[in-house]
Structures are given as structure tokens and as C-alpha cells.
Chain A
């Protein structure tokens, strides 16, 4: 992987295709036995002044956002906007096709009315809102993202199995590899290491 990265970085490619921090470090990652140990470590790390922290867990841990100081996800707003777009689209579609572009009287009913338009208004709102939820989630999470330095951690596989990882990132103003390793070990990490970017 490292060889490939070096080749990529020498190629005349636009900057976003290269690793910004090529040759630098992502940070220090430590792994913990239980979600409780992880939460405790996060709180200690924050108290010690670390600010660029990231946790990797096999399932969502209740209370981790508060511990990391994260607010509420803005996804709800994206979904509302998409849902309203679907609603508008459904009204315009049924009105324009039925009453403007191809007006055809069927069984003496009005060319456009809200009552028979409700099912499709509902369905298109849900459809677009669902796409908003999924694509919005992927966009906010910057997925798909097939390379991430955290994968370089030697015991990465535990993060999606039964280990609870805490990363202190190199961009943290307080970062020093030796100190971070000592800190994580003291907090109960089983294996702390400096991870390549």
C-alpha cells in the first residue's frame, strides 16, 4: 500500500486524488475491551485537553456523542427538504400532465383535484425523503471513501468485531505520539500504536 501511495503521489494528479498528509501520521489508536472503558477514556482524554478524537466501534454506543462533544446530526433538515421537494413534484406532475398538457375528461371528474392526488403526493414525498436520508447520510459521512488511515491500524479488524477503538489524531494541537501512547495505555488500552496516514 505504501509503495502504491508513493507512486500516486509522484504522478501529476490533481491534489484531491493524493493523500494530503502523505508520509505523515494519522495519529495514535488504542483499543479497549468494552464500550464503558472507551467512554471513560474519551472523557479522560477530553479532560486532559485532547480535542481531535475519534472512536471506532462495532455498534453505536449510547452517550458517545455527548462524550465527544458532538451535536445533533443535520440529516433531519436534508430529509425534510427532500420530502417537500417530492410533494411539490407530485403536485406539479399530476396537475401539469392531467390539466395542462393532456386534459382528458374521465368519468366527468375534474382535470385536477387534490383528493385523488393525495396517494401520489404521499408516495413521492416518501420516495424523495428516503433518498435524501440515505444519500444525505452517505454524503455527511463522506462515503464511499475506500481509503482511510485508520485502516492502517494493525488491529483494525477488531473495530468491526468486538473491540472499541479510540484515535487521538495528529492534527490535535496537543498531539505528541509518545504522550498519546502513554496516555491511552494508562486509560486502559490493550494495544496503542502510532498509525501512518
Chain B
């Protein structure tokens, strides 16, 4: 897109689209998924997901009528699973934006097969994340007045914009909005494709309205490509800012274990790490269920494994740096916080994190494991678990033993904490399965662009 010349090294074998597909094959393969009844597995997984999502809403309903005491948060651990889950979900979303924006600017054409689904994953992950701060207010229907600068008669006051929590509100809501815009702009030409091949009037009308009457004229593509490029350019610093600002929630405080200058890059690397793990988990499954091996090739998956290896190493390096700085600072509270983190009552969480985040990605040094679907699937789940533990370790271990030993405590989740967390996974899967069922899960027009390039390469022609 946007006259991006490509690094010739990216064009070496194997090709990005396999199986000798034509343009029409790409349309057929992707669009047919939305036009047929889904396979049986879809109904099974969807049924389970909807039930879990129901559990989420029941838990939230119980919280609203009872109070946020139904969660395990209490003094001294005032932030428990809610913020852990919030940061975890936001982090997962980051891979989608990284794939759609940063890899686009870096001209990594392999992203075209996975960007649409990864962006959808971002939206749904951010939606799940948003639930936690919203319901942590206890009165979600009034949260808008507390979170956003809305003039109102009830409070007669304004938010404190010097607080990182306010920055977080703006960062996350901007991120959600821009991700949704980016995703929808990408969808417009593909929705027009669905409109033009619609076999029923109702599909034609729905996709006609959704595609805004897109025609794919050269003049439209000209503005469209620039809009896409600009959105990628805007999303790139945005995605880096979001987790940086999320990390300010911690880093700007004075709690030992939180008050750390490396938090922004460390959080961003961790976010990309967990996000790619989630993309691999989902894409391996979708590829298998919908037979998309020609479009999502082993090369795509291997590249994602490489990203996981690199970001996993960064995260491991950050864990080491934190310990070094705690020792080097000679601050007894800082030193205690870190010794307590690894060897205190939460040692099991800390070492689970190390095992999942630092040890497990090391397998990706070997091509054999990078190209093995079962290995990458299992490791991606390990990484997701590890990244959840990372956030839990940062939050719970730093809070549970603060400066005054008389107020030390231990955080245990309640059943509602657990049902809410598992419930958000249900909501996430419900939304993702609906997306796979009804919208083109692969960016049809972008894949055709890659294919066009590939055809020219084979002919030896210039692009």
C-alpha cells in the first residue's frame, strides 16, 4: 500500500500466500467463511463462551447490587485482580496494533494475513479491560462523570489532571477509539466485496450500508491509502504510549517495587509479548478450524515466534535490571520489596512468572520449535499465563508488605474475582467468534496486494 517498496529479502521463499491462489481464490476463501454455516466446533466453543460471558454479567450484577467488597481487594492490597486483569487485557491488545500499525510502517508484508484478526482481538481485549476500572468505581452508571471531564450538576468539580489515573483514562479511551477506527477503515473495501457477492437481499443491504457504498475507484484508493498510512503513523506512538501511561499508574507512585523508571519500556515489551502469544493461540486455532493454511502460513507463525522470543528476552532483562537497581540503590525498602517478591509469601507467583516468561520462550531459539504448531500453541498459553502472573506479582507483592509490618497482609481472590476474570475470557471469545463468523477475518484487499506483488516477482517483472 501507499507505494511502499519492499525489502527484497522479505520476498524470498516461501511466498507469503501459498497454494498458487488467484485473486478470486482469496475472495472465495475468506468471504465463504462468513457465508456458510460455521463448523460444529464453532457452536461448541461459542456455547461455552456465551455461558462464561453470562457468568461475567452475573458477577458484575452481583457486584453492583452488593458493592466492590465482593472482590478480594482490601487494605493493604487495594488493587488486586481487577487491575491485574485490566493491565493483562490491555497488554494483549497491543499485539493487534503493533501488527497493524508498526509492522505496516516497517513494510513487513507478512502482516496482511493476520492483521485483521489481530486488530479485532485488540478491540475485544480493550473492551474486556475497560470493564475492570469501570466496575471498580462501584457505580458504573456514574463513572462517566468521574472519569471524563463532563460538566455536571452533581459534582461541581473537575478531575485532577495531574494524576496518572486521569492520563490512563485518556490513553485507554483514545486507544480503544483509534483502534476501532483503524480496524473499520481496513474493513471498508472487504465489506464492499461481501456486498457485491451477497446472495441474499438482506446481506446486500447490511454490507452495503456498512461499506458506505465503497467502489474502489482509483481516486478513492488514493485518499484511502493515505488515511491508512496516517492512521498507522498515529497508532504507532499511540500503542507505545498506552502501556507507558498504564505503567505510570505504578511508576509515579512512591511504593517500592512500583517506583521504577524502567516501567514504561518494560510494560510495553511485556504487552507485545503477551499480545503476540494471544495472537498465536487464536490464529493457530482459527487456521485449523477454517482451513486457512495457505493464507496463514507457517512463516507467519514463525515470525510471531521470533517476536515472542525477542520481547520475552526484553522482559527477562527488565526483571534482572529491577533486581540490580534494587541492590544498587542501597535503599533498604527497595531491597526488601524485591527479596520479598522472589522469596516472600508470593514466591510461587514470582517463579511461575519466570518459568513462563523467561524460560519458556527460549525454545524459540530453535527453528524446529518455532515451526512446530503444537509447541508454539502450548508455549503461547504458557506466556499468557506468565504475563498474567507478572502483573499480579508487581501489584500484589509490592502492596502486601508496605513500610509498616503491623499492616502487612496477604491477598486472596474471592470467588467473584475468579468468576469475573473467567467471565471476561468468555466475553472475549464470544466477540471473537462472532467476528470470525460474520466479518472477513483476513484482509482480502491487502492480501491481494501482496499476491499481485508475488505474481510479478514470479514473472520477473518490476513492481
Cβ B177 vs Cβ A73 within 8 A: no
Nearest A-chain residue to B156, judged by Cβ: A102
CB within 8 Å of B: which A55-109 residues: 55-62, 64-65, 68, 70, 72-73, 75-76, 79, 93-94, 97-98, 101-102, 104, 106, 109
* A133 / chain B contacts, CB cutoff of 8 Å: 181, 227, 230-231, 234
Q: Is A173 an interface residue (CB 8 A)?
A: no
B81 shortest CB reach to chain A, Å: 26
Cβ A160 vs Cβ B193 within 8 A: yes
A76-B230, A97-B158, A117-B161 known; A137+B216 contact, CB < 8 A:
no
Q: How far is the CA of A69 from the CA of B452 in the complex (A)?
A: 22
A98-B161, A127-B174 known; A137+B23 contact, CB < 8 A:
no
Q: Is A143 an interface residue (CB 8 A)?
A: yes
Which residue of the partner chain, among A70, A106, A129, A161, contacts B222 with CB atoms under 8 Å?
A70
Q: Is B42 an interface residue (CB 8 A)?
A: no
CB within 8 Å of A: which B232-285 residues: 234-235, 237-238, 241, 245, 248
* B237 / chain A contacts, CB cutoff of 8 Å: 122, 126
Specify which of B23, B149, B181 lies most central, judged by the most chain A CB atoms within 10 Å of its CB. B23
Interface of A is mostly: helix
Cβ B177 vs Cβ A75 within 8 A: no
CB within 8 Å of B: which A120-174 residues: 120, 122-124, 126-127, 129-131, 133-134, 136-138, 140-141, 143-148, 150-151, 156-157, 159-162
* A70 / chain B contacts, CB cutoff of 8 Å: 218-219, 222
Nearest B-chain residue to A146, judged by Cβ: B213
Q: Is B378 an interface residue (CB 8 A)?
A: no
A164 shortest CB reach to chain B, Å: 10
* A30 / chain B contacts, CB cutoff of 8 Å: none
Q: How far is the CA of A162 from the CA of B166 in the complex (A)?
A: 49
* B195 / chain A contacts, CB cutoff of 8 Å: 160
B446 shortest CB reach to chain A, Å: 7
Q: How far is the CA of A159 from the CA of B241 in the complex (A)?
A: 39
Cβ B452 vs Cβ A59 within 8 A: yes
* B45 / chain A contacts, CB cutoff of 8 Å: none
Cβ B196 vs Cβ A156 within 8 A: yes
Q: Is A54 an interface residue (CB 8 A)?
A: yes
Q: Is A116 an interface residue (CB 8 A)?
A: yes
B178 shortest CB reach to chain A, Å: 4
Q: Is A119 an interface residue (CB 8 A)?
A: yes
Q: How far is the CA of A120 from the CA of B24 in the complex (A)?
A: 46
Interface of B is mostly: helix
Q: How far is the CA of A58 from the CA of B184 in the complex (A)?
A: 17
Specify which of A54, A64, A130 lies most central, judged by the most chain B CB atoms within 10 Å of its CB. A130
* A64 / chain B contacts, CB cutoff of 8 Å: 218, 221
Q: Is B162 an interface residue (CB 8 A)?
A: yes
Chain A: interface residue total (CB-CB under 8 A): 63
A185 shortest CB reach to chain B, Å: 21
* B182 / chain A contacts, CB cutoff of 8 Å: 130
Q: Is B226 an interface residue (CB 8 A)?
A: yes
Cβ A130 vs Cβ B213 within 8 A: no
Q: Is A35 an interface residue (CB 8 A)?
A: yes
* B149 / chain A contacts, CB cutoff of 8 Å: 93, 97
Cβ B196 vs Cβ A59 within 8 A: no
Q: How far is the CA of A78 from the CA of B239 in the complex (A)?
A: 22
Cβ A102 vs Cβ B157 within 8 A: yes
Mask, B46-77, CB within 8 Å of A = 1, is: 00000000000000000000000000000000
Q: Is B91 an interface residue (CB 8 A)?
A: no
Cβ B196 vs Cβ A141 within 8 A: no
Q: How far is the CA of A9 from the CA of B228 in the complex (A)?
A: 38
Nearest A-chain residue to B210, judged by Cβ: A144
Which residue of the partner chain, among B170, B185, B227, B248, contacts A123 with CB atoms under 8 Å?
B170
Q: How far is the CA of A37 from the CA of B195 in the complex (A)?
A: 26
Mask, A42-54, CB within 8 Å of B = 1, is: 0000000000001
Q: Is B136 an interface residue (CB 8 A)?
A: no
Question: Chain B residues in contact with chain A, CB under 8 A?
Answer: 1-3, 22-24, 27, 149, 157-164, 166-167, 170-171, 174, 177-178, 181-182, 184-185, 189, 192-193, 195-197, 208-209, 212-227, 230-231, 234-235, 237-238, 241, 245, 248, 444-446, 448-449, 452, 461, 463
Q: List 16 A-B contacts (CB under 8 A).
A: A54-B218, A55-B218, A58-B27, A60-B1, A65-B222, A68-B218, A68-B219, A75-B223, A97-B158, A106-B162, A109-B162, A119-B164, A131-B181, A140-B223, A157-B196, A160-B193
Question: Chain A residues in contact with chain B, CB under 8 A?
Answer: 35-36, 54-62, 64-65, 68, 70, 72-73, 75-76, 79, 93-94, 97-98, 101-102, 104, 106, 109, 113, 116-117, 119-120, 122-124, 126-127, 129-131, 133-134, 136-138, 140-141, 143-148, 150-151, 156-157, 159-162
Instruction: Knowing that A68-B218, A160-B197 touch, tell me 11 more A-B residue pairs with CB under 8 angstroms.
Output: A54-B217, A59-B216, A97-B161, A98-B160, A122-B237, A130-B234, A131-B181, A134-B231, A137-B185, A143-B213, A143-B214
